[in-house]
Structure 1
Amino acid sequence: MTKPKVLISDALSPAAVQIFKDRGIEVDFQPALGKDKDKLAEIIGDYDGLAIRSATKVTAKILANARKLKVVGRAGIGVDNVEIPAATAKGVIVMNTPFGNSITTAEHAITLMLALAREIPAADASTQAGKWEKNRFMGVEITGKTLGVIGCGNIGSIVADRALGLKMKVVAFDPFLSPERARDIGVEKVELDDLFKRADFITLHTPLTDKTRNIIDADAIAGMKKGVRIINCARGGLVDEQALADALNTKQVAGAAFDVFVEEPATGNVLFGHPNVICTPHLGASTTEAQENVALQVAEQMSDYLLTGAITNALNFPSITAEEAPKLKPFVELAEKLGSFAGQLTETGISKVTITYEGQVAEMKIKALTSAALSGLLRPMLGDVNVVSAPVVAKERGMVVDEVVRAAQSDYESLITVTVFTERQERSVSGTVYADGHPRLVDIKGIRVDAEFGKSMIYVTNEDRPGFIGKFASLLGDAGVNIATFNLGRHSQGGDAIALVEVDGSVPENVLAKVQALPQVRQAKALTF
């Protein structure tokens, strides 16, 4: 088996390079390459993985040349330098390391808060200039003060924990924070307006989205306690910088400490030079430990995916643990083939798909299985669809996708059923994985069968009448088409029946037309898997 090959196009720790090598992955370490997009586009086609920091821009143009690429790993949290929709369309997993920088960023926020409370930078500059302005720098205590945390995810909750250790009271606004989690971490969950009214210090720890852009604007500041201090170590654009500068002038805001800005590198900014403002050049993740951690983490995650199929911290696919990956693999294959079976038989627009998981498979990562089923279903009609892009493509086309999970209601330990609804009909197909690890078809439109998926198959629906099988087999024999397996099923004697035949080689169109012309045949279709 060929070794997977990874390109590192940014400055990553040598320890990360070693992890790839130790795991049996070939590494090409070119830390300056990220700045040369043309050269990167030229050579990216040779690699299975690309490990980056922020200097490499993974654009649609780069991805268009990435024939073999399976994964992009970003050492760090921000992936605004990766065109995720283009990667998704290409079937490339995009991973980041959201937790490697968490402690470092949280500590920076606490450090800025303490520096702001005691005016440390200005006092330092004054003292080193020989001024000794003891009365000028009158700070405030943080003990007993209220800290408002906007965004109480991974970093926000670490900040809250440190603030509680400093004997502050912590209130948090986060729509995704459950009351139980708030109680566990010792914070009071509040609405945003309430946080603004009560907080002496406010710290932001939320991503920048359309909903959070300028979450602190002039109106928000007007609703805050007079003399509030604001810290932002998250993303530039969460605070309206001009509105903040105005509020600093009127003393509505007593001070601000910012590590991030709307435009970076920030060589000029409306906040610069203002008394009671502390600025740092996006240092949130800049500690030796954090840089090492994210590099090691991304190397481990990419290695796991390339070698075992385990997916961690992916932004465009569900996570799959190393333990889950081997158990999931045959069911991913089954879901994809059931989807493909249904897709190859569907000739009109699909309005809805229901995927039902029964028994043990219902306890697995069904999101990954649904993605596989959708990719199989859509590929016959749309061609370039993959497991990563399929859910997005289905959504773009207005398809309703329902997932149903239930305890075993059949003879099988695990059963997956794909039901496709079109304007003309509803069609179901079910399958399972036997102990040998091979996917099997066990039910087509309510008719029981037991068939493996062959590379080339003929699917026939017919009336159950004597003589049909003989004519069908003779016709294939006369045309020199060799039968590998022959599976039959029917609703009842004389009722609807199906034949599913695996053949060697592809099925000539003229042979299929002759099968279709047999008296009892309703539909004949060539299928490939």
Structure 2
Amino acid sequence: MQFAHRSQAPANTARYNRARPAIAKPRFASTSIAAMSGGKGVGGRPVVLITEKLGDPGIDMLKESAEVVVALNLTPEQLNEKIKGVDALIVRSATKVSRAVFEAANGGLKVVGRAGVGVDNVDLGAATEYGCLVVNAPTANTVAAAEHGIALICSLARNVAQADASMRAGKWERGKYVGVSLVDKTLAIMGFGKVGSEVARRAKGLGMTVIAHDPYASEDKARALGVQLVSFDDALAKSDFFSLHMPMTPGTKKMFNDAAFAKMKKGARIVNVARGGVIDDDALARALDDGTVAAAALDVFEEEPPKVVEAVVEALAGKLSANAVNAPMVAPEVLRELQPYVVLAEGLGKAAVQLVADAGFTDIAVTYNSPRGDDLDTRLLRAMVIKGILEQITTSTVNLVNADLLAKGRGLRISEVTIRSEGADALTSMAVSLGAAKSTFSAAVDEKSGRIYVEGTVRAGRPYITKIGGVDVELSVEGSVLLCRQRDQPGIVGTIGMLLAKDNVNINFMTVCRTGRNQEAVMAIGVDNDPSEDALKEIAAVKGLVEVSMFKEMALV
């Protein structure tokens, strides 16, 4: 930690779908939600490499479920060699996890855990391309960091460090170091995340007027804390004190430069508990020298929170993580609420793409019916829909990290619409439709839009497909389902049942939906194991049967 005052300059720091009449048989990839689990160590346990000092409690926790390798002070070349065969890597700030690291891992690295908040030492672009989840520990030291920030603000206002140094030098300069009051002074919080929000709460208690600049912050959140969100230039012009809490990104690097300091009030004070690189040190030195900045307190060191270990363990187990940096993750309470809809979203994506004929599809449209309307955070659900679809049409590993990137690479257009509905849950239903030239199951095409359409909902915590095309159904998003479109006549159900029994396929449920007596009907048959290709051919040949399609492993619930 360093203080600077006036002239004191800082010194810181494919789908598989053979052309067979009326039978679709896609190839499936893993349906694990996060698709992150590894298993290369002894007894199939994942291997975790730790390259910087980590507390014993964190290491002990990892050893319960993984093979742990601790190798400190590795050179880049040594890290590239060591990373081969590793499932998870845990670092602090010194280890640079570059593109070369991900290339050396050759797709085997599932998780990078950053023991701290900032992730500027990890190449997030490369991590995303290789489907590697990056997690950090953004909340483990939130309160401590906020309290430390407030302590620095108070120390800066009253020149505590300078007065202490003066006293230790045997001087008595009481008048020189009186400082300024915080009451009615304006504090600009730059970066209104978890730490910034906690600083705001405490600064309000000190009688300060608090404003904040953060292009990604919620107006509702700021309003609830009595904080006004402002532009960067407005923050510079209005504030007496600045408290920095933004991450280190290309956009924030040296954000506080000569131009920024020139827009500040004369005698402003600045506290940096974010990242050293967000301030241009030379520019700050000049601002201190000319009195534009009266004083600065700089502290860019980070503690090593153990929460990153929990995030790594959860990610390796295939669980959703609220600490993900390069995946569409949301708050833990929202994750718990959305969990059944996450499974539904993946299942709808899988179901929709299995209904596409060989000509393929051009776009994906997702519709959410939610009591929250546009306030619903759909990022996770969107990613799961894309994951469910892409796993059927690509040989690449697809997970929440790279789903959007892979979809963009394939030129797929994706649109989302949220419709406000009545109800108490996060969603009442959601639907996925694909713009396809042709479907393997014509009943799945919505007559109005001409698109392949599937809709679903969650009941009692379990996801169900409730509509295929214009036909109402009741299908659990689980296991494999045989879909049949037929003319409503006696004997079809029994004949199909006998053919499945002959193939040693057990039926676990069956539903029939028809438009009217002796008219068209759609039958859904849940099966414990997949029918053989010969059995599917025999079923397709049953008299009165119009077409057959197979849903395989829509989701693992």
Q: Same fold per TM (> 0.5)?
A: yes
Whether 2:53 is the aligned partner of 1:53: answer no
* Alignment match, 1:427: 452
Residues 221 and 381 (structure 1), Cα distance of their counterparts in 2 relative to 1, 3 Å cut? same
Residues 466 and 77 (structure 1), Cα distance of their counterparts in 2 relative to 1, 3 Å cut? same
Residues 406 and 166 (structure 1), Cα distance of their counterparts in 2 relative to 1, 3 Å cut? closer
Of 143-152 and 112-121, more deviation after overlay is shown by 112-121
Identity of aligned residues (%): 31
* Alignment match, 1:389: 402
Asked whether the equivalents of residues 505 and 530 of structure 2 are also in contact (C-alpha less than 8 Å), the reply is: no
Asked whether the equivalents of residues 51 and 90 of structure 2 are also in contact (C-alpha less than 8 Å), the reply is: yes
Distance of 1:310 and 1:201 partners within structure 2 = 39
User: What is the SS of the residue equivalent to 2:112?
Assistant: strand
Alpha-carbon shift at residue 340 of structure 1 (Å): 1.0
Alpha-carbon shift at residue 218 of structure 1 (Å): 3.7
User: What is the SS of the residue equivalent to 1:45?
Assistant: coil
Distance of 1:224 and 1:356 partners within structure 2 = 45
* Alignment match, 1:12: 54
Q: Select the structure with the greater relative contact order (CA < 8 A; seq sep ≥ 6).
A: 2
Residues 405 and 342 (structure 1), Cα distance of their counterparts in 2 relative to 1, 3 Å cut? farther
| TM-score, normalising length: structure 2 | 0.68
Alignment of 1:11-90 (within 5 A): 11-20=53-62, 24-26=64-66, 28-32=68-72, 35=75, 38=78, 42=82, 45=85, 47=87, 49-63=88-102, 65=105, 70-90=110-130
- Given candidates 135, 147, 157, the residue that maps to 1:95 is 135
Residues 155 and 516 (structure 1), Cα distance of their counterparts in 2 relative to 1, 3 Å cut? same
Unaligned runs of 5+ in 1: 260-281
Alpha-carbon shift at residue 12 of structure 1 (Å): 0.9
Distance of 1:306 and 1:381 partners within structure 2 = 25
Deviations 1:236-274 (Å, cap 9, x if unpaired)?
443444544444444333344444xxxxxxxxxxxxxxx
Whether 2:309 is the aligned partner of 1:299: answer yes
Residues 494 and 417 (structure 1), Cα distance of their counterparts in 2 relative to 1, 3 Å cut? farther
User: What is the SS of the residue equivalent to 1:234?
Assistant: coil
Residues 489 and 213 (structure 1), Cα distance of their counterparts in 2 relative to 1, 3 Å cut? same
Alignment of 1:418-457 (within 5 A): 418-422=432-436, 425-431=450-456, 441-451=465-475
Distance of 1:95 and 1:106 partners within structure 2 = 21
* Alignment match, 1:342: 352
Amino acid at match of 1:528: K
User: What is the SS of the residue equivalent to 2:399?
Assistant: coil
Whether 2:329 is the aligned partner of 1:318: answer yes
Distance of 1:497 and 1:61 partners within structure 2 = 56
- Given candidates 138, 141, 150, the residue that maps to 2:180 is 141
Amino acid at match of 1:447: V
Unaligned runs of 5+ in 2: 1-42, 439-449
Alpha-carbon shift at residue 343 of structure 1 (Å): 0.7
Asked whether the equivalents of residues 458 and 503 of structure 1 are also in contact (C-alpha less than 8 Å), the reply is: no
Distance of 2:192 and 2:331 partners within structure 1 = 25
Amino acid at match of 2:351: F
Residues 88 and 403 (structure 1), Cα distance of their counterparts in 2 relative to 1, 3 Å cut? farther
Residues 358 and 494 (structure 1), Cα distance of their counterparts in 2 relative to 1, 3 Å cut? farther
Asked whether the equivalents of residues 8 and 27 of structure 1 are also in contact (C-alpha less than 8 Å), the reply is: no
Residues 330 and 241 (structure 1), Cα distance of their counterparts in 2 relative to 1, 3 Å cut? closer
Amino acid at match of 1:353: A
Distance of 1:349 and 1:230 partners within structure 2 = 54
Distance of 2:242 and 2:313 partners within structure 1 = 40
Whether 2:241 is the aligned partner of 1:201: answer yes
Distance of 2:230 and 2:255 partners within structure 1 = 15
Distance of 1:155 and 1:246 partners within structure 2 = 29
Asked whether the equivalents of residues 11 and 31 of structure 1 are also in contact (C-alpha less than 8 Å), the reply is: no
Alpha-carbon shift at residue 77 of structure 1 (Å): 0.3
Asked whether the equivalents of residues 148 and 195 of structure 1 are also in contact (C-alpha less than 8 Å), the reply is: yes
Alignment of 1:15-414 (within 5 A): 15-20=57-62, 24-26=64-66, 28-32=68-72, 35=75, 38=78, 42=82, 45=85, 47=87, 49-63=88-102, 65=105, 70-110=110-150, 112-113=152-153, 134=173, 140-144=179-183, 145-164=185-204, 168-175=208-215, 181-182=221-222, 185=225, 187=227, 189-209=229-249, 211-259=251-299, 282-283=300-301, 285=302, 290-291=303-304, 294-295=305-306, 297-304=307-314, 309=319, 311-315=321-325, 316-319=327-330, 321=332, 332-347=342-357, 348-356=360-368, 367-384=379-396, 385-394=398-407, 397-404=412-419, 406-407=421-422
Distance of 1:233 and 1:323 partners within structure 2 = 29
Asked whether the equivalents of residues 46 and 66 of structure 1 are also in contact (C-alpha less than 8 Å), the reply is: no
Amino acid at match of 1:349: F
Whether 2:503 is the aligned partner of 1:490: answer no
Distance of 1:499 and 1:341 partners within structure 2 = 15
Amino acid at match of 1:53: R
CA RMSD of aligned residues (A): 4.8
Asked whether the equivalents of residues 79 and 101 of structure 2 are also in contact (C-alpha less than 8 Å), the reply is: no
Number of matched pairs: 486
Alpha-carbon shift at residue 147 of structure 1 (Å): 3.2
Residues 66 and 97 (structure 1), Cα distance of their counterparts in 2 relative to 1, 3 Å cut? farther
Alpha-carbon shift at residue 483 of structure 1 (Å): 5.1
Deviations 1:329-380 (Å, cap 9, x if unpaired)?
6654443233212112224323232244579xx9998654443332112222
Residues 86 and 193 (structure 1), Cα distance of their counterparts in 2 relative to 1, 3 Å cut? closer
Distance of 1:226 and 1:323 partners within structure 2 = 44
Distance of 1:452 and 1:376 partners within structure 2 = 16
Distance of 1:453 and 1:168 partners within structure 2 = 54
Deviations 1:432-459 (Å, cap 9, x if unpaired)?
6677x87654432222444567866654
Deviations 1:257-294 (Å, cap 9, x if unpaired)?
444xxxxxxxxxxxxxxxxxxxxxx33x2xxxx43xx1
User: What is the SS of the residue equivalent to 2:85?
Assistant: helix
* Alignment match, 1:276: none
Residues 125 and 369 (structure 1), Cα distance of their counterparts in 2 relative to 1, 3 Å cut? closer
Residues 497 and 392 (structure 1), Cα distance of their counterparts in 2 relative to 1, 3 Å cut? farther
Asked whether the equivalents of residues 441 and 453 of structure 1 are also in contact (C-alpha less than 8 Å), the reply is: yes
Alpha-carbon shift at residue 427 of structure 1 (Å): 2.0
